[in-house]
Structure 1
Amino acid sequence: MKQRKLIDWHTLRKLYVTVCIACTFTCSLLAQGGRTVTGVVSDATGDPLPGVNIEVKGGTTGTISDIGGYYSVSVPDRNAVLVFSYIGFVVQRITVGERTKINVTLVEDLQALDEIIVIGYGTTKRQDFTGSVSSIRLEDSPVALASNLNALEAIKGNVAGLDIGATNSAGGQPSIQMRGQKSISGNNDPLIVLDGVIFLGSIGDINPNDIASYDILKDATSAAAYGSRSANGVIMITTKKGRSAKPVINFNASGSIESWQNRPKLMGGEQWLESVMARNNSTDLTWLKPQEVENKDAGREINWLDASTRTGWIQDYQASVSGSGEKVNYYLSAAYAENQGVVIGDNYNRVSVLGKVNANITDWLQVGIDASYTEANYSGAGASIYSATVMSPYGVMYHDETNKLLEKYPYTQSGQNPLWGVSNGSHDNIDVRNNLRTNAFALIKLPFIPGLSYRFNYAGNLRNIESGDFYYETQYVKEGAYNDETRYSPSAYQSLLSNANGYINHNTTSSWVIDNILNYKNKFGKHSIDLTAVATRDRRNYGEIISRGSNFAENGNTTLGINGLQKATTQKVEQKKDQRSNIGYLGRASYSFDDRYFLTASIRRDGASVFGIDKKWGNFVAIGSAWNLTREDFLKDLDYLNNLKVKLSWGKNGNQGLDPYGTLSTVKNSASGGVRYEFGNSSNILYGMQTDALGNTSLGWEATQSWNTGFESAWLGNRLFLDLDLYFSKTTDQIFTRNIPVMTGFKEIKSSMGQIDNRGVELTIRTVNVETSDLHWMTGFTFWLNRNKLTHLYGEDLDGDGKEDDDISNSRFIGKPLGAIYGYVQDGIVQESDADYMKANGVSAGVPKYKDLDGNGTIGSEDRDILGYTTPNFKLNMSNTVTYKNWDLYVMLTSTLGGGGYYQKSNTAAFMTNGSGLFNSNSIYIPWWTQENQSNKYPSAVFTGDGGRFQGLQNRAFVRLQDVTLSYTFREPWVKKLSIQNLKFFLTGKNLLTFTSWQGGDPEVGTTVRGDTYPVLTSYTIGANISF
């Protein structure tokens, strides 16, 4: 992917065509007298550039290039200077002389100080911006060619400070966090703003193929416009629009295959027998079931992981029509995507449509409306990966001779077939999510005051989810002998009808946002001002109805499945509703002098319904400044320095870390939780209401104050770009549940207290390595490091040591980062020579050994310490983009690194510490401790655990080849003869290689397959893009 200020300007120049061509029809200036100069404007690859501004310097004559890059302009005389300008390209000034034909090649300007970026309730030039923002152009970039089914995965690794997690299921959505964890128990997700309006839907409802660009606002000044919701940063998403006066019809089609990367290797039959016998101190195989013995003797083995997985695939199609006329800009698209996951039963498909129309009604009135609809279907239950990793390789898959009917119990007892309920029709699962979004705006440019405008925004979102499960009587087949077919007979099923059960959940979320925005922009000589005032309101309503039914014995069948819950003997209906509302007022002022000194200040006042009666309102202030040093005389003569802007900002933002009604006491009633009263005899029972949770009306905002400083720079003729940000933030009044004295009648209460500090470094380096007419090579590096610290918690000092107490039970330690791993320091494995240790602690050789930190000779609670942290040390990514003639190659390497005790996690499965039994492990064969092999790393096979002391920590650090994209664009004459505007074929690979020491699964997910976690997948994609 390419960052807007440094790489792919194809998107910008095509986007700019929309405005420029419109201006051609309405505002082209006709020169008078002189002669005419013609020519073609193209980029470094030879592609024509439509929409380039061509002006005669010092005059009023001008034009723009057409869709083929052709221009014609009148000049007064031979001394006239033509100025060629285009967003994202270096301005060229050419003296006409005696020529009448001038062809021009424009070179990309990677610094792009005049680039327009999207900020809260408006836009601004990058050079005028005082905050920290990263901009990504997805449209036409290499990553846009990959099969990304969610709107966030496409920008993963390209923005310093933005952590986007792994996607490991069909249609799954990754986690996201910006500049570290700020809230202990509240929401840490950034705010999503779609086309300038707060988006209250799910990120999964946004079709990635419709996205043109991202602007990521990271510091307080950048995000302050959204006040109470911006403590975790803001992601501004802009969707595509028409870019050409001529209608453009575009088709995208791609197909992908997926495979399991870092797939655990299950034990073979002999290894499994050895491990089970060792765990159970068995000397013979009498514990095997008859069918297992038969399979073993016949050499038949089942790899249950292979049986539960498959080759996954993705198909993704999109068609769009777009254009931009003198009065109307439009973009219409329809898309279909389907994903068959690697795990059997894991499926997803999505249908989405989007329509956008903007119209210039008059010179002073512009209106627009867009609407989108998405249906995402996640229905289907996936195979149990956990069961697949513990099954006997000699178990039975089917109970019939045709090998078509699944056996529920491969051992004929206990452990369940991982495919049971997945592909045998005994379990139905539905999960269908529909989302309808509408946006509308009206922009009035008030003619009586130049620069003054008013904009009205309305956004509505309606989201419906239908989900549920139904378990047929066949789900509850009894245990029994392998050849006991009566377990699967109609009469046996009939007897199990009382076990059949299911539920269906219908929930609806409706929301709306209204913005009123007044803006004034003007320039007076060297002074520029930008004033914005905003009044905004939003509301969200949530409703849920859950219907449950069980026992279908009286009905006699379950033919209707989940649609027949009303036939159940036992029925129950649950209903939930909640509502939340917000209101906000914003004032923001930006000032610049001589494009040299910049100042921005804002204040926002927000009210939220979720807080206590005296805490509903909060004030959020921000101020930022910047200084363009290259405008100063003392730096003008430094030829190797092209741009240097330093910046400093401070601000306060908020986080609504509370659910609706979270400040109120709640009650429970009825037999499910009320107080029981008996009158007369025990059959006359009434239930009264009982207070369930204690309210706290003093709960208020989680407030984050943050400081940001850094610089943006360009060197060596705009071939080296270096941006640095240093930040510090403190988040106070954390909302979480704490224990209270039991004499109050309650055990806990929600409270506002505590403080978390975050500090970090973000570095972005971009280089233009080669720039010729045929070859273009750029490299990008992103590095970021974040450290958080729990500064305050409950404010208690119960032990009287003069220090605030830690919360050891939740691994929260004052002065330490969140994510601390607290426990016993392992010191290898107890060996037979450790006689004193074994005697003092009552253990035998082959179990984990721990350090005696307090020196009393035994291992106890005082020997615990912080062993490490789950958070990473730092992240480092590198991308390379190479263009050679018609070929484009993009490669992205990502890494998340540990060291210093960081990025650790418990992984006991990697040490086979599963205790005795048959169903504990069939993966990760290890050389466990024996008297003959006295390992100092792995415990003995009979080690069954020691009360949670042993954690088996492993480092999750990894380096990953995340993206590779190779594309070819046809520019041959035959393409034009077929009226094809653009034809491109591409190959992409995702997550191709991962280097890590983590065992049993993907390190980024951090959970082994024994935790029933789906894998992170490798995918290979082939596709084509064609435009007419």
Structure 2
Amino acid sequence: MANCFSFFFTRLKKPFLLILFFLVQFSVWGQTVEVSGLVVDKEGNGLQGASVFEKGNAQKGVVTGQGGQFAIEVSKKPVVLVFSYTGYAEAEETISAGEGAPVTIVLEKKEGNLEEIIVIGYGTAKRKDFSGAVSSVQLENSPIALLPNSNPLEVLKGNVPGLSIGIANSAGDQPSMLIRGENSIKGDNNPLIVLDGVIFQGSLNDINPNDIAAVDVLKDAVSASVYGSRSANGVIAITTKRGRRGKPTINLNASYGMQHWLKQPVMMSGAEWIQSVNDRNKYTAGSIDWMKPGELENYNKGKEIDWLKAITRQGTIENYQASVSGASDNVNYYLSSSYNNNKGIITGDEFNRISVLSKVNAKITKWLEIGVDGAYNKLNYSGISANVSAAQLMSPYGVLYRDSLGHLEKYPYTQSLISPLWGVQDGTTDNLDIRQNFRLNSYAVVSIPWVKGLSYRLNYSVNADKNRSGAFNYESYYVAEGAGLDRYKPTVINGFLANANGNQRNESIFSYVVDNILNYKNSFGSHNFDVTAVATRDFLRSESVNVIGSDFSANGNSLLGIWGLHKAKVQRNDLVVSQRANIGYLARLNYNFADRYMFNASIRRDGASVFGDDIKWGNFAAVGVAWRLSAEDFMSHIAFLDDLKLKLSWGQNGNQGIKPYGTLATVVNGPSGGFRYEFSNTSNILYGLAQQALGNSQLGWEKTAAWNLGIESAWFQRRLRFDLNVYQSKTTDQLFVREIPIMTGFGSINASMGEVDNKGLELSLSTVNIQHKSFNWSTSFNYYLNRSKLVRLYGTDNDGDGKEDDDIANGLFIGRSLGAIYGYEQIGIVQESDRDYIQLNGAAPGDPKYNDIDGVPGISVNDRKILGYTKENFSMGMGNTFTYKNFELYAFVAGIFGGNDFYLKPNTAAYLTRSNRFNDNATYKPYWTSSNPGTTYPSATYSADTRFLGLQARSFVRLQDLTLSYNFRQPWVQQMQISNLRVYFAGKNLAVLTKWEGGDPELGNAVRDNTIPVPATYSFGVSATF
């Protein structure tokens, strides 16, 4: 045990030295009269860590200890004390002059409260007053915040119906995100990210997950339309933490976790591999004379290599966080620093991040408030990962090391295929990928003194990225094929100096956002108005310098590697500059009458520089209505009904899913497409300029029109709550890169055409199953279904059948869902008795047998059909939280159902060209032979594309998240001036139930894909609050 603690704190030492450098400690001392008591919830459970302070003097405050006990010195009586706790409604209590007995304060949870505040863009609203579809997730003090996530939005995975988040498999990976399906066929489908009320133009990995307090997902048009030109794919609004009124609070959190491969493929053994090679090449059974010398040596020694084990390691993930926060009546501050380090389970897969955040806002006068947020992030992705695909192709008798000193052999077969570890950590290559982000958000709010409810807010946000990446292959990388070790001698290696090469890219990205927001909020009797006008502008400029160098023979060495490209004989430098700008104007009205009838409407006009001169501007409107039936007199007799609201909304949003200059014609030169010239019969080819693509000044907005119908309800003192939404959207003027006939002299043109429809259903349900002083159990459940349909495409009818043509080459079919899988239906294996099929199709026994569906004898392209769809039919997620005394257990199970993909790749796995000797996955051992005709796999000699046999459903159920924590509430904790001390375990992707035979069913990756596997993670941590 001592060794365990020694190891743990050794890992903590350096990160905390870095983190504690940024901490500022504050202390404020009071005097005289003492007030004591308890702060509890309505079940009587003590709330440890609640803030207690004197109203009007937030610095004179304390934090409750064990069981919610507190004692505070106040200057005089009577006094008003303020009590607050995250997730609970703030309470005030007046302590009279003659009162001396301890007081008990009961706080009520805000969760599900009618006054819950949601972020709706350029402001906030009460959930009860809004007609849109918004899902909110509170992370602060939530068990899901304990999960070891590198990406800030991974924590939402499966918790928000309508939001699809891909799985993160590599270190520092940034998963894909979709809200309510794919609206765009070829354009951008990513939702807009808004950070603390301002459009965020950086990378999600620039946001520290530990700094996030809450996330609101805006899914329908009336919620997202205020962002107009970028909101067609929905909006994710992130709110970071703030200080709480009372004495300064210091939080420390540290966790260390281990990762491993949850489902590692099983490869053929040496004996099975020998048999398969003999069968593939029709060699004599049992022969081994085709082996290379190194293989024969290992075979004779009985030495087999597990190549997947050779490239795999135990991954680690470390997270260290420290913050100091607090607030007075006029100043609020939050300072944090964190260090994250992740070594993935595949050798060479690494990521680390340093993050610093400082937030300060102050109320200068009664009418002026200002705030400044500054952040710095440094992300390091440097390194090369081992090749997972190559590891599955290697001979089990191949040569891993060429000597006893552990030097790698580049060619385990002595030819052709390179070791999956070559260039990873052997000094033959360099790899650099470092990204730095600087972010500054500032704002000022002026409350107009002479007009009640009128305010002006100015937001100014700046984001700057400095990225440096590159790679270098030394001469030692280019070892010749063969068996002799002379190939590795320095004198021989130096002969490859002409092959040494590298590149380096230095990129700078600068962006800013300016928002001018005028807001008027007031009530006249039962009429409540919230009117907002916005003028906004954002700008982004990207500049990259690319340097490429090769051939270091003249220099005599390449010792400087990536930093010595200027010494290369052949050099090329490129400068790429790109910029874009947007301007927008918005007017919005939120109105409710008597908290019963709600009306929300907005109109926005946007201009985008990326579009043609004639079509830069777009108008986007939205309107929504809601009716709170539970506030009507005729519903008052239903005692167990707490809230019931019907809502309906419609709106149109835009998507500018093209890159800058996409409307302009492009010109290329050089071998990539320029005209070739030869002068004076010297065979010296020179390249001129050539126009590659046509311009299109009429290229404009993708527009998505959508409606949403929903119902929100709460019952039995809000112990049962559900939110049901059905929606339908139509996205027109799809943005395509359209290929055009070669006789025009051009290759392609950007075009707007086509339509995609989406419709779906979302359900979220939460229940409080047991509520007891020492034991509580609550459940959350969500269900999500989406159906997409391609309605129109290019408008062509080349075959003259009166129907619009499909785009078979790109898998696009009119009237069908996106993600269609098109090909031949395999119905079995050709047997020796299938003489007619063999003669008609030129097949051989052991080949795949296809279904002839067109009525014409023989298999042709007309026998292809849609075999399935990659999109799932529906998805579900369910979380359960149990608390017993000081323990808390949270378990979340997620799954997708339906959806297909290939677990075999074309011409790979069991179906590689049989002149090679690659290894196979053990799944494919029972291939067809004349003595084993009943198998489902073709013969070893078959070499064509038979992936369609590998079409499988990707349905799965995953134990996605699991946390178990213990809060120490013993007296010794309080004596150490610790207000909250917790130890915890957190696990991710711990188990998967599926019939999928490929890699991970959620990734849909096939066997032999060079895809880093999804790891299972086990993390242990401790957090303390002072």
TM, length-normalised to structure 1: 0.91
Residue aligned with 1:495, SS: helix
Q: By how many angstroms is 1:935 displaced?
A: 2.8
Quote the Cα distance in structure 1 between the aligned partners of 2:248 and 2:54.
24
Residue 235 of structure 1 aligns to which amino acid in structure 2?
Answer: I
Aligned with 1:389 (options 379, 392, 415): 392
Aligned with 1:303 (options 284, 303, 306): 306
Q: Is the 8 A contact 1:912 1:924 kept in 2?
A: no
Residue aligned with 1:862, SS: helix
Q: By how many angstroms is 1:676 displaced?
A: 4.5
Could you give the per-residue CA deviations for residues 542-566 of structure 1, whole angstroms, max 9, x where no partner exists?
1111111111111111111111111
Quote the Cα distance in structure 1 between the aligned partners of 2:84 and 2:335.
30
Q: By how many angstroms is 1:107 displaced?
A: 4.4
Residue aligned with 1:150, SS: coil
Residue aligned with 1:976, SS: helix
Residue 968 of structure 2 aligns to which amino acid in structure 1?
Answer: F
Aligned with 2:1019 (options 1009, 1018, 1021): 1021
Q: Is the 8 A contact 1:358 1:368 kept in 2?
A: yes
Q: Is the 8 A contact 1:468 1:503 kept in 2?
A: yes
Quote the Cα distance in structure 1 between the aligned partners of 2:646 and 2:168.
37
Q: Is the 8 A contact 1:316 1:338 kept in 2?
A: yes
2:457 match: 455
Residue aligned with 1:912, SS: helix
Residue aligned with 1:717, SS: coil
Residue 971 of structure 2 aligns to which amino acid in structure 1?
Answer: P
Quote the Cα distance in structure 1 between the aligned partners of 2:121 and 2:359.
21
Quote the Cα distance in structure 2 between the aligned partners of 1:131 and 1:505.
44
Could you give the per-residue CA deviations for residues 735-757 of structure 1, whole angstroms, max 9, x where no partner exists?
10223343422232111000000
Q: Is the 8 A contact 2:909 2:920 kept in 1?
A: no
Q: By how many angstroms is 1:486 displaced?
A: 1.1
Mark the CA change 1:896 to 1:52 in structure 2 (over 3 Å): closer, same or farther: farther
Residue 652 of structure 1 aligns to which amino acid in structure 2?
Answer: Q
Mark the CA change 1:882 to 1:214 in structure 2 (over 3 Å): closer, same or farther: same
Mark the CA change 1:168 to 1:93 in structure 2 (over 3 Å): closer, same or farther: closer
1:689 match: 689
2:183 match: 182
Does 2:990 match 1:997?
no
Q: How many residues align?
A: 977
1:907 match: 904
Aligned with 2:438 (options 420, 430, 436): 436
Q: By how many angstroms is 1:567 displaced?
A: 0.8
Mark the CA change 1:673 to 1:182 in structure 2 (over 3 Å): closer, same or farther: same
> Equivalences for 1:855-870 in 2 at 5 Å?
855-870=855-870
1:230 match: 231
Q: Is the 8 A contact 1:180 1:786 kept in 2?
A: yes
Q: By how many angstroms is 1:110 displaced?
A: 3.8
Q: Is the 8 A contact 1:547 1:571 kept in 2?
A: yes
1:623 match: 623
Mark the CA change 1:670 to 1:259 in structure 2 (over 3 Å): closer, same or farther: closer
Does 2:582 match 1:582?
yes
1:468 match: 470
Mark the CA change 1:422 to 1:50 in structure 2 (over 3 Å): closer, same or farther: closer
TM, length-normalised to structure 2: 0.91
Q: By how many angstroms is 1:109 displaced?
A: 5.3
Mark the CA change 1:334 to 1:93 in structure 2 (over 3 Å): closer, same or farther: closer
Residue aligned with 2:799, SS: coil
Q: Is the 8 A contact 2:53 2:62 kept in 1?
A: no
Q: Is the 8 A contact 1:211 1:237 kept in 2?
A: yes
> Equivalences for 1:234-253 in 2 at 5 Å?
234-253=235-254
Quote the Cα distance in structure 2 between the aligned partners of 1:87 and 1:972.
22
Residue 547 of structure 1 aligns to which amino acid in structure 2?
Answer: V
Residue 920 of structure 1 aligns to which amino acid in structure 2?
Answer: F
Q: By how many angstroms is 1:65 displaced?
A: 9.4
Could you give the per-residue CA deviations for residues 970-999 of structure 1, whole angstroms, max 9, x where no partner exists?
111111110011110001111000111222
> Equivalences for 1:485-884 in 2 at 5 Å?
485-669=485-669, 673-676=673-676, 688-884=688-884
1:321 match: 324
Quote the Cα distance in structure 2 between the aligned partners of 1:809 and 1:685.
35
Q: Is the 8 A contact 2:62 2:72 kept in 1?
A: no
Q: Is the 8 A contact 2:909 2:921 kept in 1?
A: no
2:373 match: 370
Quote the Cα distance in structure 1 between the aligned partners of 2:361 and 2:133.
30
Mark the CA change 1:800 to 1:528 in structure 2 (over 3 Å): closer, same or farther: same
Does 2:359 match 1:356?
yes
Residue aligned with 1:939, SS: strand
Quote the Cα distance in structure 1 between the aligned partners of 2:170 and 2:643.
45
Mark the CA change 1:430 to 1:88 in structure 2 (over 3 Å): closer, same or farther: closer
Q: Is the 8 A contact 2:448 2:455 kept in 1?
A: yes
Quote the Cα distance in structure 2 between the aligned partners of 1:94 and 1:570.
78
Mark the CA change 1:829 to 1:510 in structure 2 (over 3 Å): closer, same or farther: same
Quote the Cα distance in structure 1 between the aligned partners of 2:943 and 2:528.
72
Q: Is the 8 A contact 2:909 2:1007 kept in 1?
A: no
Mark the CA change 1:94 to 1:976 in structure 2 (over 3 Å): closer, same or farther: closer
Q: By how many angstroms is 1:85 displaced?
A: 9.9
2:1004 match: 1006
Quote the Cα distance in structure 1 between the aligned partners of 2:316 and 2:257.
5
Residue aligned with 2:247, SS: coil
Mark the CA change 1:298 to 1:680 in structure 2 (over 3 Å): closer, same or farther: closer
Mark the CA change 1:84 to 1:625 in structure 2 (over 3 Å): closer, same or farther: farther
Quote the Cα distance in structure 1 between the aligned partners of 2:485 and 2:872.
54
Does 2:159 match 1:158?
yes
Alignment gaps of 5+ in structure 2: 1-28, 75-80
Aligned-residue RMSD, C-alpha = 2.8
1:211 match: 212
Residue 795 of structure 1 aligns to which amino acid in structure 2?
Answer: G
Q: Is the 8 A contact 1:50 1:65 kept in 2?
A: no
Q: By how many angstroms is 1:266 displaced?
A: 1.7
1:18 match: none
Residue aligned with 1:359, SS: strand
Q: By how many angstroms is 1:441 displaced?
A: 0.3
Q: Is the 8 A contact 1:905 1:956 kept in 2?
A: no
Q: Is the 8 A contact 1:63 1:73 kept in 2?
A: no
Quote the Cα distance in structure 2 between the aligned partners of 1:436 and 1:91.
35
Residue aligned with 2:939, SS: coil
Mark the CA change 1:95 to 1:833 in structure 2 (over 3 Å): closer, same or farther: farther
Q: Is the 8 A contact 2:61 2:246 kept in 1?
A: no
Quote the Cα distance in structure 1 between the aligned partners of 2:297 and 2:36.
87
Q: By how many angstroms is 1:636 displaced?
A: 1.1
Quote the Cα distance in structure 2 between the aligned partners of 1:633 and 1:218.
32
Q: By how many angstroms is 1:399 displaced?
A: 1.3
Q: Is the 8 A contact 2:710 2:724 kept in 1?
A: yes
Could you give the per-residue CA deviations for residues 153-190 of structure 1, whole angstroms, max 9, x where no partner exists?
11111000101001111111111111000101111000
2:15 match: none
Quote the Cα distance in structure 2 between the aligned partners of 1:607 and 1:970.
56
Quote the Cα distance in structure 2 between the aligned partners of 1:678 and 1:494.
35
> Equivalences for 1:975-990 in 2 at 5 Å?
975-990=973-988
Could you give the per-residue CA deviations for residues 850-878 of structure 1, whole angstroms, max 9, x where no partner exists?
11111222111111110000111100111
Q: By how many angstroms is 1:661 displaced?
A: 0.4
> Equivalences for 1:885-900 in 2 at 5 Å?
885-898=885-898
Could you give the per-residue CA deviations for residues 33-54 of structure 1, whole angstroms, max 9, x where no partner exists?
xxx9985331243115846899
Q: Is the 8 A contact 1:848 1:950 kept in 2?
A: no
Q: By how many angstroms is 1:67 displaced?
A: 3.8
1:129 match: 130
Q: Is the 8 A contact 1:513 1:536 kept in 2?
A: yes
Quote the Cα distance in structure 2 between the aligned partners of 1:726 and 1:46.
41
Mark the CA change 1:720 to 1:985 in structure 2 (over 3 Å): closer, same or farther: same
Quote the Cα distance in structure 1 between the aligned partners of 2:91 and 2:558.
76
Q: Is the 8 A contact 2:901 2:1004 kept in 1?
A: no
> Equivalences for 1:48-127 in 2 at 5 Å?
50=50, 67-68=63-64, 103-108=104-109, 110-127=111-128
More displaced stretch, 42-51 vs 847-856? 42-51
Q: Is the 8 A contact 2:279 2:941 kept in 1?
A: yes
Q: Is the 8 A contact 2:412 2:419 kept in 1?
A: yes
Quote the Cα distance in structure 2 between the aligned partners of 1:584 and 1:506.
32
Residue 957 of structure 1 aligns to which amino acid in structure 2?
Answer: S
More displaced stretch, 357-366 vs 100-109? 100-109
